[in-house]
């Protein structure tokens, strides 16, 4: 989430990733040129657990690549300012010069969409592009097995004492 906030601050609260994706070929080409991992189901990639920092870094590189107006691999403050202004203008559906919560919501969802795609792909065990009850049930069973430490089939919302303290009792 930290990188998401940083990215929002960098571009003035806009969803550069979503807007860049709407530019024909721009986002993927530019992101790859700057060394970013292009993510999402269209690229046949599945999310990787434990690599959140790398993914957030890729998101920021993608945003910077989209802001690189002259394509030289370097982003100036002027390019960031122009990019931010363009994104804000596009997001400001009402034209009042400010983002409402609804306008911001659309941008934020677009910026963080890759996380939703990763979650979807994690649940879609057979990779068919659909999540069925059995796939959700399998995930719940794994979570239950991991969290049900005493094997009684019940999860408790109370905190357990550390293992060393339990051993002393």
- pTM (two decimals): 0.49
Q: Note whether 12 and 87 are within 8 A (CB).
A: yes
Cα–Cα distance between 106 and 81 in angstroms, integer? 21
Q: Mind listing the pLDDT tens digit for each residue in 78-134?
A: 999 999 888 888 889 999 999 999 999 988 887 788 889 989 999 999 999 999 999
The reported pLDDT for the residue numbered 19 is 38
As a whole number, mean pLDDT of residues 37-65 equals 59
Cα–Cα distance between 152 and 149 in angstroms, integer? 8
In 3D space, the residue among 152, 149, 151, 146 whose CA is nearest the CA of residue 163 turns out to be 149
In 3D space, the residue among 136, 105, 131 whose CA is nearest the CA of residue 41 turns out to be 131
The reported pLDDT for the residue numbered 55 is 65
The reported pLDDT for the residue numbered 144 is 92
**Comparison of pLDDT for 18 and 3, the residue scoring more:** 3
**Whole-number mean pLDDT of the chain?**
73
Q: Which two tokens stand for residue 11?
A: 């571009």
- State the Cα torsion 139-141-144-149 to the nearest 10°: -120
């Amino acid at each position: 989430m930290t990188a998401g906030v940083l990215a929002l601050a960098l571009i003035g609260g806009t969803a550069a990733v979503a807007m860049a994706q709407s530019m024909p070929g721009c986002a993927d080409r530019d992101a790859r040129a700057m060394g970013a991992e292009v993510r999402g189901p269209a690229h046949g990639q599945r999310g990787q657990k434990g690599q959140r920092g790398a993914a957030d870094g890729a998101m920021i590189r993608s945003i910077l690549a989209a802001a690189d107006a002259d394509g030289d691999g370097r982003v100036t403050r002027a390019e960031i300012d122009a990019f931010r202004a363009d994104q804000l203008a596009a997001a400001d559906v009402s034209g009042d010069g400010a983002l409402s919560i609804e306008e911001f919501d659309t941008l934020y969802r677009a910026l963080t969409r890759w996380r939703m795609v990763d979650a979807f792909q994690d649940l879609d065990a057979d990779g068919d592009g659909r999540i069925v009850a059995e796939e959700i049930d399998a995930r719940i069973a794994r979570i239950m097995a991991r969290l049900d430490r005493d094997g009684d089939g019940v999860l408790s919302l109370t905190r357990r004492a550390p293992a060393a303290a339990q051993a002393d009792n």
